[in-house]
Amino acid sequence: MGRKRSRSWKYIYFCVASLISLFLAGCVISENIKKIQEYKEASEHLLRAKELLAQGDYEGSLKENQKVLSLGDNKLPADEALFNIGLIYSHYGYQKKDYKKSLTFYKRLVRDFPMSPLVEQAKIWIGVLEVIEKTKQVDIEIEEKKKKLSR
């Protein structure tokens, strides 16, 4: 009534399934290695950015932090790069200081990385910078009213 199947086909199926499994595992491992390399590269840029900031090279530090963001906007350590950029734009020694840009980066950190350990510090900076911006606006309004009264 039919021939008996030989066991050799079972071994062939097993070998093919094993090869497929090894191939898929290799893809996963290579993807993880790529992520580790990206993280290492981003960490090196962050370290360089901190060194430049300590030396007073704000522009160089900004460029290094921007490189970290370009490697992966929503991947760690982009949260630290966002925080550093916010610090640079609000730094007293930076000639191109811009509190509005600083606020933008802090808010982006809070929005994109809600679990980051830097979120609480960013929220504090947001509060301080918003008060500064409101104070500036009030000062401008006072000056405008003074001009109107003196006419």
The Cα 57–Cα 149 span in angstroms is 45
| Model pTM score | 0.75
Residue 2 pLDDT > 70: no
Q: In the predicted model, what is the mean pLDDT of the chain?
A: 86
3-class DSSP state for residue 74? coil
Domain boundaries, the chain: 8-150
**pLDDT band at 30; cut points 50, 70, 90:** low
Residue 142 predicted with pLDDT over 70: yes
Three-class secondary structure assignment of 95-128: CCCCHHHHHHHHHHHHHHCCCCCCHHHHHHHHHH
47 pLDDT above the threshold of 90: yes
CATH code for the structural domain at 8-150:
1.25.40.10
Give me the pLDDT at residue 72, please. 73
